[in-house]
């Protein structure tokens, strides 16, 4: 994945799944988008990525209670957190449109 492909897909296609896949490839890490009710809207990870909370969220279609509680009260600043049940750190960022929060 390169930056030009990411930008072309972002500007020319209306496909959140593709955008999340491109972002995961560009940053070389799993990515997930959730709405304000913590429902999983889009996600991408390599097939061999093994992380129980990430997989559990995909299976449930929403963030786990633990992950949701980490986001409670989050402002627009990106936050780096380390869940107790995972060796991987998470970066949560509030997604905004027109000044209104729409997800993470």
Give residue-wise pLDDT tens across range 5-27: 888 888 899 899 999 999 999 99
Structure tokens at 24: 């995961």
Measured distance CA(7)–CA(77) in Å, rounded: 23
Q: What's the rounded mean pLDDT across residues 38-48?
A: 94
> Mean pLDDT, to the nearest integer, of 49-58?
91
Choose between 65 and 34: higher pLDDT.
Answer: 34
- How big is the chain, counted in residues? 104
Cα(70)–Cα(4) distance, integer angstroms: 33
First to last CA, the chain: 23
- pLDDT interval class at 44 (50, 70, 90): very high
Angle among Cα 26, 27, 29 to the nearest 5 degrees reads 120
* 32: pLDDT strictly greater than 80: yes
Q: Tell me what pLDDT residue 93 has.
A: 83
């Amino acid at each position: 994945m390169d930056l030009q492909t990411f930008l072309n897909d972002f500007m020319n296609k209306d496909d959140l799944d593709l955008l999340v896949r491109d972002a995961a490839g560009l940053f070389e890490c799993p990515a997930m988008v959730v709405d304000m009710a913590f429902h999983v809207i889009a996600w991408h990870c390599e097939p061999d990525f093994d992380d129980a909370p990430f997989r559990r969220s995909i299976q449930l279609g929403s963030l786990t209670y633990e992950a949701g509680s980490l986001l409670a009260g989050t402002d627009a600043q990106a936050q780096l957190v380390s869940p107790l049940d995972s060796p991987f750190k998470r970066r949560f960022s509030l997604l905004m449109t027109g000044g209104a929060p729409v997800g993470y």
